[in-house]
Structure 1
Amino acid sequence: MDSQYVENVNPNLVKASEREAAECVSLEVLQVVKDVQQQHGLRHGDFQRYRQYCSRKLRRIRKVVNFQQGTKHKVQPRKITAETLKDQRCLYIPLMEAERSWAYAMQLKSEANTEPRKHFHMMNRLKKAVHHADHLQKVVADEQANCDARTNLEVKAYCSWMHGLLNFELQHWKVALDNFIKSKVICEKLSEAVAGDVKEIYIQRCAELVPNIRYCEYNIGDVSAVEDLMQMRLNITHEDPLTSKLDELIEMTREKQSSSLSEVTWLARTIPVKNIQVRRLLLSMQQSSNQLRDAGAEQKLSMYESLLKEIIEAQQSHKDEFKDDGIFKALISKMKPVEGQVPSSVYLHTYLAYLRQSTTTERNLLMISLLKSDESKKTKPQDLARLYDVIIQNLSEIGQLPGLEDKEAFLKEVDTQILAYKAFRCFHVAQTYEYLKKYKEALALYDRSVLYAQMSLKQLLKTSIENTKKESLSKELRELMSNVDGLKYFIRASSILDGQNEPDTKVSLSSCNKPLIERLHEYVEVGGNVKKTSLVNLPPEFEPTPAKPFFFDLALSSIDFPSLDDRLEQKKTQGGLTGYFKKWIWGGGEKQ
């Protein structure tokens, strides 16, 4: 397929054209486009800023070359032709028009995710960009324009790339593939004819075209193209400009494949999956499982981070779908006890939570292995203990998920792993205490580590964990137990040596002025003059004591005193004014 595009590509012709640059019109299309894109917004993906720059650039060029379209009061459209071509600056006009239309199309494409009507506007602007690119190629190809061979080839590669983008959006995969390959072959041949920085530009252009080519091949029928796209994504860094393009193509591929994924089976139960976001996640987990086996440590770490991000987004999307379901909310928040089999929506939530916790555990185990293998700096044991603590917490949360109450075998596997990682955590905590010379605590923790390891090894024989994982975990636990046996002897020896090398804590009599009664817990070597030893302070120091003690009679309220009413004198009461009038009216008076 490639041979049909290289008929007119002759590296010798390109080199000859450079010698005739004084007579020919030359325009380094890819160099110019790359420079202005990096300087005016596309380094950060700001297509609006780049489009505005193209408009200002067009206005300046038209004014400089005196090729304005009419006056202030009347518009007279004019186009660059071979006859009106004065110098290379005139070629900037159709090039910047194509770039402006393309930048506007890419801006509308990003906005079309939330406003679908802008997709039609985007297609119109992309067609306009193709029209301007065709016009540029027509002008350059004309013999009267007197353009060199390199300019012709670069314009042809640029025009083919623009046609490929249009057909890519129209989903005309075969036509888009042919145009992308044509552009790629021209850039490859040009890279062989030049050297230096210009060669790097051609090579980079070829690398940018490969993802689109593989995606078109996938849509035509090449299934292996998806794996190639994933491999390309692993081999580039986050700062690479191809990152966003590859992520977009991989997302489009998963969206197409996820339509066929309607259910998932976990722990002997089949769960229907209707949420598109969850379908994409499950498809991504399937594709990533094979790549994790062949990827390097840094690539694995990057893949785990991206998978965790996708799992969190899928979990949130699933929750939003059932936010008005009271039973769903009550079961996942443990507000309602589980009776019988949980609904499929709750079980799918449990499965997503399990994926999140297990992926986090695998990521942390990978970080532990990286820290242990890093010889450039010494890893602190408390850092490893902290990571094992996070792993234990993640595994403990799995056992508390709703819907797993009757999965005894699965829960037993989780408990076995918890015991194993507790053994590793105790081991590294013991190393921390050993570094602090707390040998008793370190020895006790080493014993606890061996106990956890023995319990985990016994339970591993009864569980149905994956064979490779079971073998690796058993091997690590046995190595741990053998290491602990040697470290125990080392700790005992270190404690004895540190006891012998302790500094003399005896206090000299001259440095201690306290009397003997106040320093009975300290041993002091007394010299020849024993008589000068102070036993007590004479006179003794005063101690504050209460001057008047307080006595409280608490029995008074409980005593019953005898009545003394018969011994009290009865006083005679004299009548008042009322009694006087009673005597006067009734004739009463005192008896004689």
Structure 2
Amino acid sequence: MSVDQVDVSFKVLSLLSKERAVYGLRNGDHERYRRHCSNKVHRLRQVTGTTCGKKTYKAPSKIEAESVKDVRQLQLLLFSTERALAHSHELKRDKTHSKKDQLSWLRQAFKLSTQLYSLVQSLSAPSSDLPGRADAKTLGEITIYHLTIRSELSFEKSNWIGSLTDLACRRKLLATLVEGAKDSYDEALANEFIDSHDPLIRYCAYKLGRAESHDIEGVMADIEPEVLEEALPGMSQLLESLRTETGVEEMEEGRRKLEDVEFAGEKVELRNAEIVGVMVRVQDALSKLGDGKSKGARGMKRWDRVLSVLGEAEGVARKLLEDNEASGASSSLRSTRTAQSLALAHQYIIYLLLTHRIRRDLALVETLSSSPVPKDPTQFKVQGGKAKLEEVVKTLGAIVKLYGTMLQSLKQAAELSVVQEKEGVRSGVEGLEAYFHAIRCYNLARLHCIHPDPSYPSAVQLLSNASLSLRQAQDFLSSPIDEPIVSVPAKDLSSLSKDISALEKASKRGLFGQSVEKPVFFDMAFNYIDLPIDELQRMASNGEKVEATNIKTHEKEVEIKSVENVKKSRESRETTPAVDSQEEKQEGKKGWLGGWFGRK
């Protein structure tokens, strides 16, 4: 292909979706996105050589079909349109500006989009014996973008008929892209653009007096193909070229498609392109994992890969849900259907993450159980010496910790709203939680019995709790269960019950078989009887010590008596009479200047 015949096709909708999501429109920040578009336009002008000059203004050359040699020239027009559109949306949210300013920028965006649409239309048309330089899909996506801006301008002018016909043409083209999508990402991307303007279709139908304005499919069915052809000349030809290029009939067989996702009989719609993209990777990781019974380091790496991708999917879904809730109050294009599908998808991904985390922990427990832990629960002595005993104790401790982690995951799953709303799912989660609690108590009781310092009372108490939890698990798991995390057959429940009863009997035998050292009779008597120590010392020929103690006690008694006599004398002593106040007054009557004058 020569320089003049460079292919200028590019993915318009994918580029717009990524740029809008990254640079502020996901949060409704139109000012940030407008600044990004300005920087993008400046860089594209430098690359394509269409700058406006530095010292003096120089009008850039107009982009014609013959002068287009790079796809970035088309992207320059695209982001110039996006800048004007973002400015219009920013002024619409700012109540200090008039609607005239907003419509002025919206008309500027419509003018630029019309120029881009005409340019791509001429580039896609085949010339003499040469194919078009832009494929039908690029033309279709540019047409969708042009119809979006034109319908919004008609909507702001209250031209409900014109806006509805443009929106109907736009939705028809997007539905064709959904049918011909090569993978689930392209399908979800088209669905995302459909959902963004469905509220406008409902509002226009309501303004035109349709009784059931919420029925979008009914509204679309009422619009005749002639009306669509009149709104967009060449509509039928464009649809046919899109179907031919994408191969709608052949695409169904070779499409890399995400399998249908259901949760307890309810279909989970993944209509966002980012979620679908990461869920396709989850599907691939799960297919490589197989049945999840792979052992060794390779098996654990596969489990880690699955959990990593699921964690990434949960982060993407949570971020989209938070952004949708944050911009829901201010965005006029909010779709209730999109919000509901995002919430359900987020809850489902969390449940899927917790489910596979539990299964990974069960695989680790299975690996640890193959170590030399006694199969017989009533065997408390480990053969092989101290090293073998320490290994068994560490293994049982690790198993107990893993079951504790699984119980935490089950508690998180039980708190999900999708689990609480479904009776079958909730009973399955609660039954599995009770079953794992019984197993954890059973293994912890074994650890208490096998430990070098056994604690049989703790083991008996734990086994009593395990029996109670096991009965609860049998009650929950006997009912029909939806979306089981792990299948628990009845024989496993009966086997665990037998092991618990056997271990309980053995631990009770160990408890009653322990020898308790009784205290000496002298110690018991000393606690309750005052012994005659002096008499015992005298009988033991310790007379000197007895006399010394008697002297000391006599001295203490003398000291106590003398102190008491002093206290009594202090209390019986007469009080000293006070000085007469008249004598003080007479002493106070003295003459002037030291007593020379006025002295009596």
Alignment TM class, shorter chain as reference: 0.3 to 0.5
Identify which of structures 1 and 2 has the higher relative contact order when contacts are C-alpha pairs closer than 8 Å and 6+ apart: 2
If the length of structure 2 is used for normalisation, what is the TM-score? 0.40
